[in-house]
């Protein structure tokens, strides 16, 4: 059995299809799904999905760095804090820094980075306060992301660097702080040799598997809409890269995810 640790089930791309994709996932041996939030709109939707599919879907709440400008209210942290007390909420996320996309209207490069860092830190503080792990998004922002995570050294903060596509040294800096990484379908792409080399080297209990669906469909389904069932293709490819059998990779990554999100 596998856990898709990162699925955007509330995405409009899945509208009307959630029953079907959950069934497809179960058929593929993906029996649990962490529904990941990007803003204050999909956070409560994730909770509704978790209530509708008990034992299968778990929720996160949080604001993605690309939406850090959309917070119309200053009390977004108290809204998130309230949502986070729901028993189905297992993490704050996804949160982090994204320097890849251009700043939205009204921001310069610098003010946008400052805004993202402020929203990131506020949510890390919240996670420590409510004792939940965090799901971290980083894109073209490695040094700053790691510097901010470093500020929390010695606290109870536990993070997963999701969709990990960087080198083993970057991963080791995260492990040194007690954090984890997770791999998407990117690891199955023929051009992603660096990620594949890194995924072959990393310790077996330091990573999880995920889809980031509806994006990043793994080989051999590239070009189609990604869904939680595709976690299986990524896990099979990882097992091959690491020279281990699929069953042991599935059981080890599942145990890591159960411990990280405190689900059973
Ligand atoms: Zn995501």
Q: What is the pLDDT of residue 71?
A: 81
> If 0-12 CB within 10 Å is exposed, 13-18 middle and 19+ buried, where does residue 45 land?
middle
Cα–Cα dist 242/228, whole Å: 22
User: What are the tokens at 130?
Assistant: 């409510």
Q: What is the gyration radius of the CA atoms in the chain, in angstroms? A: 17
pLDDT above 80 (res 97):
yes
35 CA to centre of ligand 1 in angstroms: 9
Would you say 152 and 142 are in contact if contact means Cβ atoms under 8 Å apart?
no
66 CA to centre of ligand 1 in angstroms: 11
Q: What are phi and psi of 209, to 5 degrees?
A: -115, 155
The predicted-structure confidence for 63-94, as pLDDT tens digits, reads as follows 999 999 988 667 899 999 999 999 999 999 99
182 CA to centre of ligand 1 in angstroms: 11
Mean pLDDT of 171-193: 96
5 CA to centre of ligand 1 in angstroms: 10
Domain locations in the chain as residue ranges: 2-261
Cα–Cα dist 56/43, whole Å: 17
**Strand order through the sheet with 134-139:** 2-7, 30-35, 57-61, 89-98, 134-139, 159-161, 180-183, 207-209
252 CA to centre of ligand 1 in angstroms: 22
pLDDT above 80 (res 152):
yes
Terminal alpha carbon distance of the chain: 12
Would you say 89 and 132 are in contact if contact means Cβ atoms under 8 Å apart?
yes
46 CA to centre of ligand 1 in angstroms: 13
246 CA to centre of ligand 1 in angstroms: 25
165 CA to centre of ligand 1 in angstroms: 14
156 CA to centre of ligand 1 in angstroms: 23
8 CA to centre of ligand 1 in angstroms: 6
3-class DSSP state of 137: strand
Q: What are phi and psi of 3, to 5 degrees?
A: -120, 125
Superfamily of domain covering 2-261: Metal-dependent hydrolases (3.20.20.140)
In this prediction, what percent of the chain has a pLDDT beyond 90? 96
47 CA to centre of ligand 1 in angstroms: 16
pLDDT above 70 (res 192):
yes
Q: What is the pLDDT of residue 72?
A: 67
pLDDT above 80 (res 217):
yes
pLDDT above 90 (res 264):
no
36 CA to centre of ligand 1 in angstroms: 7
**What's the chain's average pLDDT?**
96
Mean pLDDT of 103-127: 96
230 CA to centre of ligand 1 in angstroms: 15
Q: What is the pLDDT of residue 200?
A: 95
Which residues place a Cβ less than 5 A from the ion ligand 1?
Answer: 212
Q: Could you write out the DSSP letters of every residue in 142-182?
A: HHHHHHHHHTTTTSS--EEE-S--S-HHHHHHHHHTT-EEE
The distance from CA 169 to its chain's CA centroid, rounded to whole angstroms, is 20
Strands, E assignment, the chain: 2-7, 30-35, 57-61, 89-98, 134-139, 159-161, 180-183, 207-209
Mean pLDDT of 166-189: 95
Q: Give the CA count within 13 Å in the CB-facing half-sphere of 235.
A: 27
């Amino acid at each position: 059995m596998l856990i898709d640790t990162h699925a955007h089930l509330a995405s409009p791309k899945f509208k009307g299809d959630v029953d079907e994709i959950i069934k497809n996932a179960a058929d593929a041996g993906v029996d649990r799904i962490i529904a990941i939030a990007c803003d204050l709109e999909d956070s409560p939707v994730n909770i509704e999905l978790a209530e509708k599919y008990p034992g299968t879907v778990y929720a996160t709440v949080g604001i993605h760095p690309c939406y850090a400008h959309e917070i119309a209210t200053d009390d977004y942290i108290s809204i998130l804090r309230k949502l986070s007390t729901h028993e189905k909420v297992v993490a704050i996320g996804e949160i982090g820094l994204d320097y890849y996309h251009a700043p939205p209207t009204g921001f310069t490069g610098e003010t946008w980075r400052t805004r993202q860092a402020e929203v990131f830190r506020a949510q890390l503080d919240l996670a420590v306060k409510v004792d939940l792990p965090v799901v971290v998004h980083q894109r073209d922002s490695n040094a700053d992301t790691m510097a901010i995570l470093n500020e929390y050294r010695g606290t109870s903060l536990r993070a997963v660097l999701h969709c990990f596509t960087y080198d083993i040294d970057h991963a080791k800096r995260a492990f040194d702080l007690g954090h984890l990484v997770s791999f998407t379908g990117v690891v199955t792409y023929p051009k992603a040799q660096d990620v594949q080399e890194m995924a072959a080297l990393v310790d077996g209990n330091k990573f999880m598997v995920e889809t980031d669906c509806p994006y990043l469909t793994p080989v051999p389904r590239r070009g189609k809409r990604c869904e939680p069932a595709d976690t299986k293709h990524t896990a099979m490819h990882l097992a091959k890269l690491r020279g281990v059998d699929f069953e042991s990779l599935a059981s080890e990554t599942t145990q890591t995810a159960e411990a990280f999100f405190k689900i059973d």
